């Protein structure tokens, strides 16, 4: 069976970022913790899906995605100083949530959900980075297709009812990369 729309796909891979000898291992999907998704449902980057479309179980892949094909260039304008007071709950800062390096779910003035990484915490302001963690990175994937099958009606319904993680959406957290 080949990877095509509405197929439940299971992959293992290494994701490295950077150029030449300076590549750094960013993430691994292993046999114990593979990447699983339904192909063609906008849950993955379009360029990622184009690279694996038509592959079958047991096939290997090796490709790269440029920033233009993935999460765009790093944008300094997405690094903002916000009033520290917006992070208060009942007049107190939750230090379990607000610390350097943590990713905090937030909402903009229009009600859109987004995630920001805490860069630094000052006396009056918090510097937040709203770039995707892989913005500006060239991503190098090497892996194996470990499974391809028809997705069940229940799996497809769960996907569209908001269940599960969908890589390619900025709110999916640290469990997804692509």
Looking at residue 162, what is its pLDDT?
55
Total domains in the chain come to: 2
Q: In what order do the strands lie in the sheet with 125-129?
A: 79-83, 125-129, 113-121, 103-107
Q: CA dist 75 to 7, 16, 79, 81, 113, Å?
A: 35, 21, 8, 15, 19
> In this structure, are 17 and 101 located in the same domain?
no
> In this structure, are 96 and 22 located in the same domain?
no
Looking at residue 167, what is its pLDDT?
43
> In this structure, are 20 and 64 located in the same domain?
yes
Enumerate residues 6+ apart whose C-beta is below 8 A from 64. Answer: 138, 139, 140, 141
> In this structure, are 92 and 110 located in the same domain?
yes
> At 53, which CATH number?
3.10.50.40
Looking at residue 142, what is its pLDDT?
97
Residue 67, beta-bridge partner list: none
pLDDT tens for 38-86 read 999 988 999 999 999 999 999 999 999 999 999 999 999 999 999 999 9
Looking at residue 138, what is its pLDDT?
95
Residue 1 lies in a domain: no
27, 119, 15: which is closest to 74 by C-alpha?
Answer: 119
Give the domain extent around 33: 7-71+134-175
Looking at residue 163, what is its pLDDT?
46
Residue 2 lies in a domain: no
Q: What are the residue ranges in the chain where pLDDT is below 50?
A: 163-178
Looking at residue 89, what is its pLDDT?
87
Residue 35 lies in a domain: yes
43, 39, 40, 33: which is closest to 12 by C-alpha?
Answer: 33
Cα separation, 36 vs 13, in Å, equals 12
Residue 56 lies in a domain: yes
CA atoms within 13 A on the CB side of 42: 4
Looking at residue 144, what is its pLDDT?
98
């Amino acid at each position: 069976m080949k990877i095509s729309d509405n197929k439940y796909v299971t992959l293992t891979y290494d994701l490295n970022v950077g150029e030449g000898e300076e590549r750094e291992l960013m993430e691994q999907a292993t046999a114990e913790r593979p990447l699983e998704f339904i192909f063609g449902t906008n849950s993955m980057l379009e360029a990622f899906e184009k690279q694996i479309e038509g592959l079958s179980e047991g096939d290997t892949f090796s490709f790269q995605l440029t920033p233009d094909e993935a999460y765009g260039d790093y944008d300094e304008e997405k690094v903002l100083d916000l009033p520290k007071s917006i992070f208060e709950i009942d007049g107190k800062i939750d230090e379990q949530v607000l610390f350097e390096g943590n990713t905090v779910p937030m909402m903009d003035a229009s009600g859109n959900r987004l995630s920001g990484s805490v860069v630094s915490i000052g006396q009056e302001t918090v510097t937040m980075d709203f770039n995707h963690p892989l913005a500006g990175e060239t991503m190098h994937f090497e892996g194996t297709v470990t499974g391809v099958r028809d997705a069940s009606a229940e799996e497809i319904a769960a996907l569209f009812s908001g269940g599960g993680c969908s890589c390619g959406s900025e709110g999916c957290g640290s469990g997804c990369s692509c």
